[in-house]
């Protein structure tokens, strides 16, 4: 890799070069900071930068690799962009909301502390939609974050800044959270890798640790890098009663997929999906078959209206309700999508709660039965390649030139928040005609993270991504001109 491409160096390669003294953490961080200066005016992925203290940490890491002081730790010297939604003591924790613009966190999230304790360097905080409440990333506080592949489009949300910075080369690793697809959607739009761990795998901040839709997880440019960060942040913690014991360590050397039975569904039974997304999903299935897996097309008896209803009840009872007071007090400063979510939440009553649980059980049942017969399911991550950069929830979305019934009908991620114990690795499946990547979701049985990563790695080995300049985003589009 040339010096001009250093900012795209993978985490695993960087660690090897740090150990061999071919590269120092200071050199890599300098390349990332220089890249951020180049791309940030266009993509706006960082809510805040902390370059000076990051450089101090890089110098300290350099000393460890030189044999002075303590030995290097698992993430020693690697830059990790942390989604601003996660608290870090002494740093701003605004959640992308104007009324909270001066809030400073008093504690650090457990999973972020694990990154710091492992030698990771938080050089930047990444943008989100307000309260992480949308599949796009723009706020009244930070403005619009754009997709590096085509800046007319969104990087997705809510972990949009994390995915955009990875795709643009201004960070080596990043974090995200996922309550309706917020790790997987940006991974799909930006052509990076994201992991929605099963519920309880990564400790969460209360009270969100008790929301089974809610997950913290890693984003990276490669499957190996994503696995590396997941192994650092996963594991039980005394502060989170939902955190799963014992800690799972995913092996870096994953077995091949020979003989695995993999189901493929391009529509999940009832979704209308863009032709490019379908074609790239079928191509992904073919790659896995060539890798030795037994790949068979299946259907699921899911109804989009039932999935929407289950999600509306869940968000109305928990997510929307948590923002009601803020909207009442600061309505004129709050984004339209948050106001809409709170208004929708007001239509959900306590009697809907049981109906929502019954719906969720009914939705999971056929998936559970399918995964009794197959080791994994692959499907599109999102029904269209990307949404416009300034898209607002409630605006129409066209699929193959036809308006979708509802904007939630393009979020093919939602069933797997309902089936929250199923791990999902989101990986690139190809490019669409508009120059934006499309995504593939690898869904495994409950708590079978290893199989999800096995399938993702087998596919990635046959579709290398971001490993050559011609496969990297060009920051083109109307907004970039």
What pLDDT was estimated at residue 2?
Answer: 67
What are the chain's domains? Answer: 3-255+381-480 (3.90.1300.10)
**pLDDT greater than 90 at residue 481:** no
| Average pLDDT across the chain, whole number | 96
Distance CA(476)–CA(62), nearest Å, equals 36
Structure tokens at 9: 């160096």
pLDDT band at residue 480 using 50, 70 and 90 as cut-offs: very low
Of all residues in the chain, the percent with pLDDT exceeding 90 is: 94
Q: Which residues contact 62 (CB under 8 A, 6 or more apart)?
A: 24, 25, 26, 77
Taking residues 171-186, what's their average pLDDT? 98
Cα separation of the two ends of the chain: 28
Distance CA(89)–CA(95), nearest Å, equals 14
pLDDT band at residue 290 using 50, 70 and 90 as cut-offs: very high
pLDDT band at residue 320 using 50, 70 and 90 as cut-offs: confident
Dihedral, CA atoms, 447, 246, 195, 405, nearest 10 degrees?
A: 40
Q: How do 138-139 and 437-444 pair as beta strands?
A: unpaired
pLDDT digits (tens, 9 = 90+) for 157-172: 999 999 999 999 999 9
Scan for tokens 């030698």, then name that residue: 119
pLDDT digits (tens, 9 = 90+) for 373-432: 999 999 999 999 999 999 999 999 999 999 999 999 999 999 999 999 999 999 999 999
What pLDDT was estimated at residue 478?
Answer: 60
pLDDT band at residue 479 using 50, 70 and 90 as cut-offs: low
Distance CA(262)–CA(293), nearest Å, equals 7
- 3-class SS of residue 351: coil
Distance CA(223)–CA(433), nearest Å, equals 25
pLDDT band at residue 185 using 50, 70 and 90 as cut-offs: very high
Distance CA(276)–CA(430), nearest Å, equals 9
Please, how many CA atoms are within 13 Å of residue 336, restricted to the half-sphere of its CB? 8
CB 129 within 8 A of CB 140: no
CA distances from residue 311 to 86, 162, 286, 335, 414 in whole angstroms, order as listed: 23, 25, 33, 21, 8
Distance CA(111)–CA(50), nearest Å, equals 19
Distance CA(179)–CA(340), nearest Å, equals 17
Distance CA(122)–CA(92), nearest Å, equals 13
Of all residues in the chain, the percent with pLDDT exceeding 70 is: 99
pLDDT digits (tens, 9 = 90+) for 219-247: 999 999 999 999 999 999 999 999 999 99
Q: Residue 400 region, left (φ>0) first, then alpha (ψ -120 to 50), else beta?
A: left
Taking residues 197-205, what's their average pLDDT? 98
pLDDT digits (tens, 9 = 90+) for 446-462: 999 999 999 999 999 99
pLDDT band at residue 321 using 50, 70 and 90 as cut-offs: confident
pLDDT band at residue 16 using 50, 70 and 90 as cut-offs: very high
In 3D, which of 424, 433, 439, 384 has the Cα closest to residue 408? 384
What pLDDT was estimated at residue 339?
Answer: 96
């Amino acid at each position: 890799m040339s010096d001009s491409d250093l900012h795209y160096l993978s985490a695993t390669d960087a660690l090897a070069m740090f150990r061999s003294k071919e590269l120092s953490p200071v050199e890599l961080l300098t390349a990332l900071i220089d890249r951020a200066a180049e791309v940030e005016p266009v993509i706006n992925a960082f809510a805040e930068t902390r370059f000076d203290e990051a450089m101090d940490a890089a110098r300290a890491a350099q000393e460890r690799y030189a044999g002075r002081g303590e030995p290097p730790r698992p993430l020693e010297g690697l830059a990790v962009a942390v989604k601003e939604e996660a608290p870090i003591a002494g740093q701003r924790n605004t959640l992308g909301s104007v009324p909270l613009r001066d809030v400073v966190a008093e504690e650090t999230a457990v999973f972020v502390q694990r990154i710091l304790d492992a030698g990771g360097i938080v050089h930047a905080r990444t943008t989100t939609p307000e309260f992480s409440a949308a599949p796009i990333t723009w706020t009244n506080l930070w403005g619009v974050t754009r997709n590096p592949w085509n800046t007319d489009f969104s990087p997705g949300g809510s972990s949009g800044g994390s995915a955009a910075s990875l795709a643009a080369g201004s960070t080596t690793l990043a974090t995200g959270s996922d309550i309706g697809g917020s790790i997987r959607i940006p991974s799909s739009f930006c052509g990076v890798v994201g992991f929605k761990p099963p519920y309880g795998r990564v400790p969460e901040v209360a009270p969100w640790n008790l929301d089974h839709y809610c997950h913290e997880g890693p984003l990276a440019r490669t499957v190996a890098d994503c696995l590396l960060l997941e192994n650092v942040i996963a594991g039980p913690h005394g502060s989170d009663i939902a955190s799963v014991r014992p800690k799972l360590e995913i092996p870096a050397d994953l077995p091949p997929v020979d003989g695995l039975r993999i189901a493929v569904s391009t529509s999940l039974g009832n979704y209308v999906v863009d032709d490019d997304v379908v074609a790239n999903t079928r191509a992904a299935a073919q790659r896995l078959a060539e890798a030795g897996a037994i790949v068979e097309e299946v259907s699921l008896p899911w109804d989009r209206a039932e999935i929407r209803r289950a999600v509306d009840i869940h968000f109305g009872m928990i997510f929307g309700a948590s923002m009601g007071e803020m909207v009442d007090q600061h309505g004129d400063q709050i984004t339209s999508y948050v106001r809409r979510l709170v208004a929708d939440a007001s239509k959900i009553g306590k009697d809907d709660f049981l109906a929502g649980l019954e719906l969720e059980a009914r939705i999971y049942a056929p998936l559970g039965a399918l995964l009794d017969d197959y080791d994994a399911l692959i499907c599109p991550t999102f029904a269209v390649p990307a949404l416009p950069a300034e898209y607002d929830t409630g605006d129409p979305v066209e699929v193959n030139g036809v308006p979708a019934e509802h904007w939630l009908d393009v979020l093919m991620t939602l069933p797997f928040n309902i089936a929250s114990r199923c791990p999902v690795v989101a990986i690139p499946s190809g490019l669409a005609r508009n120059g934006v990547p499309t995504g593939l979701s690898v869904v495994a049985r409950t708590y079978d993270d290893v199989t999800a990563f096995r399938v993702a790695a087998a596919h990635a080995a046959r579709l290398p991504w971001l490993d050559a300049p011609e496969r990297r985003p060009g920051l083109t589009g109307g907004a970039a001109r």
